[in-house]
Amino acid sequence: MVNLIESLGAYVLRQVFSAGRLGLFFAFAIRGIFLPPRKFWPTVKQIEFIGTKSLVVIGFTAAFTGMVLALQGYHTLTKFGSEGWLGSAIGLSLIRELGPVLSALMVTGRAGSAMAAEIGIMRIEEQIDALECMAIDPFSYLITPRFFASIVALPLLTAFNDVIGIMGGYMIGVGLLGVSGGAFWDGLTSSVDWSDLYMGFVKSACFSVIIACVCTYKGFYAGVDEGHFGPEQVGRATTDAVVISSIAVLISDYVITSIML
């Protein structure tokens, strides 16, 4: 019984320690803006990696999401004789909810895992120690550019997701299922307003902070707590980064939606 309480206590202490360290990590990443080296081109490079190179996967995700929304939406709306509202349903679903969330999950799986793995490998190969020994703040050099690249890239990817998703929905709804094109666009433009776009982009910005923070944190501290530095620690860090980021995105989606609605 005592062992159980001890184990539980130790577990809770470890989680509290990790939460505190994550908070400090976030603060150091922000502080990195004011420290050398210069970050413009490294940030641009990261925007290319996180943003530009995710366009294809986001495009596919968005297109097929829009298409399946059109199929499901049409068959549901016809039961109420309201198939003319298909554009509205697709637009609101994508812009408020599915665009930000699916973009975040795709970026987590692609770029988030890559960030965690890359930084984790740097940790096990002593490259982060080398940065510290060269009197270069590793947060400023490694984390800050990724952080700000994520904040720039993810909302843009969300916007791209929304556009491609709506086009996919239009293609199926109007092109295949026979919904009136005019009704589709009228429904979309009359239902979607600035508050919906605002909600979508606020979510997207919050998700970008979560993904960048969690994924780079996991890579940065890969193996540090165990005291062992090897491929197993990098693998675990990458898996944890993706799982925790994904869950955090979904939980924060609910919280933000409940606040903003």
CA geometry: angle 90, 249, 58, nearest 5 deg:
50
* Interface residue with other proteins, options 130, 167, 255, 260 (CB under 8 A): 130
* Interface residue with other proteins, options 30, 57, 68, 121 (CB under 8 A): 121
Query: Which range binds other proteins by CB under 8 A, 11-19, 67-75, 124-132, 236-244?
Result: 124-132
Residue 199-228 contact track with other proteins, rule CB under 8 A, x = bound? ----------------------------x-
**Structure token pair of residue 195:** 């508050």
* Interface residue with other proteins, options 9, 20, 23, 36 (CB under 8 A): 36
Helices (H), 113-230: 113-124, 127-133, 138, 144-170, 181-191, 194-220
Residues 6+ apart with CB under 8 A from 252: 203, 206, 207, 210
Position 135 contacts other proteins (CB under 8 A): yes
Position 125 contacts other proteins (CB under 8 A): yes
**Rg of the chain over all Cα atoms, to the nearest angstrom:** 22
94: exposed, middle or buried (Cβ count in 10 Å: 0-12, 13-18, 19+): buried
Sequence-distant contacts of 78-82: CB under 8 A, at least 24 apart: none
Category of 38 on φ-ψ map: left (φ > 0), alpha (ψ -120 to 50) or beta: beta
Question: Which is closer to other proteins, CB of 74 or CB of 147?
Answer: 147
* Interface residue with other proteins, options 37, 181, 182, 230 (CB under 8 A): 37
Position 129 contacts other proteins (CB under 8 A): yes
Position 193 contacts other proteins (CB under 8 A): no
Binding to other proteins (CB under 8 A) within 227-246 occurs at 227
Question: Which is closer to other proteins, CB of 36 or CB of 175?
Answer: 36
Cβ of residue 207: shortest distance to other proteins, in angstroms? Answer: 26
